[in-house]
Chain A
Amino acid sequence: MTGSPPAVTLRFEELSDEALLSLAERDKECFYALMKRYEKKLSAYIRRTAILNREDAEDILQEVYLKVYRNQKGFNPDLKFSNWIYRITRNEVITMMRKKKSRAGIVSIDDTDHDMDGLKHLLADAGDLQETYLTEERASRIRKALFEISDKYREVLVLRYFEDKSYDEIGDILKIPQGTVATLVNRAKKQVEKIAKRINLME
């Protein structure tokens, strides 16, 4: 592939992920369109779940796409494609973290609108926080405090509040029963509530 990337936005936007995947082997542009569709989401997900530099994050994303391409015929149509690709991404992040012997953590819940919304949503769910209380200064303190939450809880919080995934979808991504997801989310919210109280965000 040379020159500028193909103008895929208009051509492929009406095709579902699954349809693009099924065409990926024959038409590389379909695969390119699929990758473009997930690039921002997955980049943000990687940044939210792992302490990694940009190069490492890009390496993960590249490896994820290659795995999707290689394993496309093993895709189970009963599963949503987005859940499948998130699952692959999560596994790749874990592999990279093991290689780097680094610790996972939310380092990049930054001040973008989406991340602030996610944080507000999380805090409101955890303890009826009024949104107006969430100043940038407080949000920053919460971000740092979220380091204290163990990885398994942080992982479900990221998927629930920053990736807007349902319990069912989280179960598919993490390969755990839906009931376990609910338990993890509840426990994680209690931890967030404690943190929020400690930093005087809630009464």
Chain B
Amino acid sequence: MKDIGKEVIEKIREEGVKPYPRWYFILKRSLVWALFAGAIVLGGMATGVAIFQIRYMEWDVHGLVEKSILQFLALALPYFWLGFLLFFAVIAYYHFRKTETGYKYGTLFAGGGIFLLSMLIGTLLAGTMVPEKLDTAFEENLSFYRWAEGCRHRIWMAPEKGFLAGEIQREVSGEEIVLRDLFGVTWKVNIKNAVFRDHAAPLPHQRIKLIGKMDRLGRFTATEARPFRCGFRKRNPASPCGKRRSPCTPPFHPDHKAPVCPLIPPSK
């Protein structure tokens, strides 16, 4: 067998092979840690928005739509952001494995740790304006996001039960608007007695959610209009968004005399 060691030494000398400098390895390791940390922070931000959306999920609607809490959650959970969290958790896990000692930890420990870290950052961020700003930025700039959010609000597509959501096409008069619902169907909606909550207004291109009643002829009469997205800065203190309350707790009707619920007739 030939003397491999000798050949290697000769090659090092002839080709001028030099060891890579120490900073190269420091940079490489730092980059891996930075990518890991970045993925954790982005996962934390996704968690923050998810927490923000869950917090303002309009829990009062749950009782009105006659669905179990699990069905309600399944329909309204912020899957977009939970998907983001999962995506960044996978990225973080991948880079953690690439660190010097990352391989020493089991999948459960490493994966669980990454989720916990993301949750912790998300919980801290949920107390700030960051999730709200992120949500708004996505809503304003990404058509896919608007579509995904629309899906999340499909629970509002039950006109026979008194729920309708969509975009206002135009205002016919002070008492009536034309609304295109999330499935693309156009409705003439009576808003004469409707309360417009938060920053909802009967203006063209506004996306709103309506609570009301559909008659036998398929006409919808709204008693309440909410902005499509609840929980934002413009909300007023009386907003039902995000507050747990019984389905027919006043004020749902403008005169505040009797609770008006689209599903339960007012008591005599």
Contact = CB atoms under 8 A, between A and B. Distances in A.
A39 B19 contact: no
Given A58-B2, A175-B103, A177-B106, A72 B19 contact: yes
Interface string A1-39: 100010000000000000000001100100110011001
A171 B103 contact: yes
B205 interface: no
Contact of B19 (A25, A28, A171): A25
A37 to B, nearest CB: 10
A76 B22 contact: no
B8 A65 contact: yes
A180 B10 CA distance: 41
Given A1-B9, A62-B7, A76-B100, A69 B17 contact: yes
Contact of A65 (B5, B13, B24, B25): B5
Contacts, number: 78
Contacts of A99: none
A83 to B, nearest CB: 12
Interface in B78-118: 100-101, 103-106
Nearest to B20: A70
Nearest to B12: A69
A171 B101 CA distance: 11
A50 B175 CA distance: 82
A176 B97 CA distance: 9
B21 interface: yes
B256 interface: no
B67 interface: no
Contacts of A65: 4-5, 8
20 contacts: A1-B9, A1-B10, A1-B13, A28-B13, A32-B5, A32-B9, A35-B4, A43-B1, A58-B4, A62-B11, A65-B4, A65-B5, A69-B8, A69-B17, A71-B19, A73-B24, A74-B25, A171-B104, A179-B106, A180-B106
Interface of A: 1, 5, 24-25, 28, 31-32, 35-36, 39, 43, 54, 58, 61-62, 65-66, 69-74, 76, 78, 171, 175-180
Q: Which 5 A-B pairs have the closest CB atoms?
A: A74-B25, A35-B5, A175-B103, A65-B8, A73-B22
Interface of B: 1-13, 17-22, 24-25, 28, 100-101, 103-106
Given A1-B9, A43-B1, A62-B8, 20 more contacts: A1-B10, A1-B13, A5-B6, A28-B9, A35-B4, A35-B5, A39-B4, A58-B2, A61-B4, A62-B7, A62-B11, A65-B8, A66-B12, A66-B17, A70-B17, A70-B19, A73-B24, A74-B22, A177-B105, A177-B106
